[in-house]
Amino acid sequence: MTSRRKVPLRRRRFIRARRPLQRQGLRHWGRGVSPKRWFLLGGAVLSLVFVGVALGYQHAQPVLARWMAVHRVLISGLQHVDRREALSLLDLPPQATVFSINSSELQSRLEAHPWIATASVGRVLPHTLTILVTERRPAVVLQHSNGSLLLDEEAGVLSEISRASSPNLPILHGLSPLGLLQGDKGVREQAREGIKLAGLLLQRYGTRPLVYVENSQQIVAEVQDLRFQFESDIEEQWKRFLAMESAIPPRLKVGGHEIDLRFPGKVIFRPKG
């Protein structure tokens, strides 16, 4: 057995007496400093930290600008809008970085273009902006006395086109182009009804129809030498025609006839007058 070393009695008393004093010193450390001095000391430390951060940022800013400068802009989804036109709408300053740009502002600039329905802006570090564009789809051509306008499915004006370059789309007649351009709600609602009917006829017959919407209470459409007459509730009248179409004699389905759907519960056939 190993014998434990005996500590002299006076030494043991000294150790036991010193330990409470050490704990007491830790508990009372700082009690001699007034709150005001603590406040001043803390303020001085924070000021030094702030100054250090400001100086560091000031010196680091040019470096960060070089590291994060926008060098590439990737735009996807463009069909009718030219890339150069889209970049012109973005109007990025030469010193733009991927973090200094405002995504919402760039999105609003792009969506102000009549062809652009939605746009989203993203970042790919360190130097690239990515932009995804969804363009509006042309639905009909509005022909008027002075030319033609290309309209989307919501009767929004996309562009002015010449008769020679008119695409193979349904044609609307009888609306004021100025009313559409100025955002007249009544004219736009008439255009929507005409576009809706044009889509139904195009889907059923496969050739582009002509739709006349000058009268808000009556819409006339022509397709494959058939003439249709509708009132306000186009969808109900069209469903009524489709439900009775199988019972219609073949000789009445060919061109040269007028189909009148304006009267409730009836599908009237007559020779075109």
CA atoms of 149 and 122, how far apart (whole Å): 34
User: Average pLDDT for residues 127-153, to the nearest whole number?
Assistant: 95
pLDDT in tens, 1-48: 445 555 454 555 544 555 554 555 445 545 555 666 656 666 666 665
Percentage of residues of the chain with pLDDT beyond 90: 58
Instruction: Give the chain's domain count.
Output: 2
Please tell me whether the overall predicted TM-score, pTM, comes out greater than 0.85 for this model: no
Residue 239: CB atoms within 10 Å? 12
- pLDDT, tens digit, 9 for 90 and up, residues 79-101: 999 999 999 999 999 888 888 89
In a domain, 164, yes or no: yes
* Per-residue model confidence (pLDDT) at position 63: 55
Is there a single domain that holds both residue 144 and residue 188? yes
Does residue 218 sit in helix, strand or coil?
A: strand
Domain of residue 191, CATH code: 3.40.50.11690
The domain containing residue 204 runs over which residues?
138-271
With CA atoms as reference, report the closest residue to 179 among 151, 199, 153, 198: 151
Q: What is each CA distance from 219 to 134, 187, 199, 224, 267, in whole angstroms?
A: 32, 14, 14, 17, 15
CATH number at residue 95: 3.10.20.310
Residues 221 and 127 occupy one common structural domain: no
In a domain, 223, yes or no: yes
CA angle 249, 253, 258 (to 5 degrees): 115
For 166, counting Cβ atoms within 10 Å of its Cβ (0-12 exposed, 13-18 middle, 19+ buried), the class is middle
pLDDT at residue 242, rounded to an integer: 93
| 3-class secondary-structure state, position 9 | helix
Q: pLDDT tens digits for 142-155?
A: 999 889 999 999 99
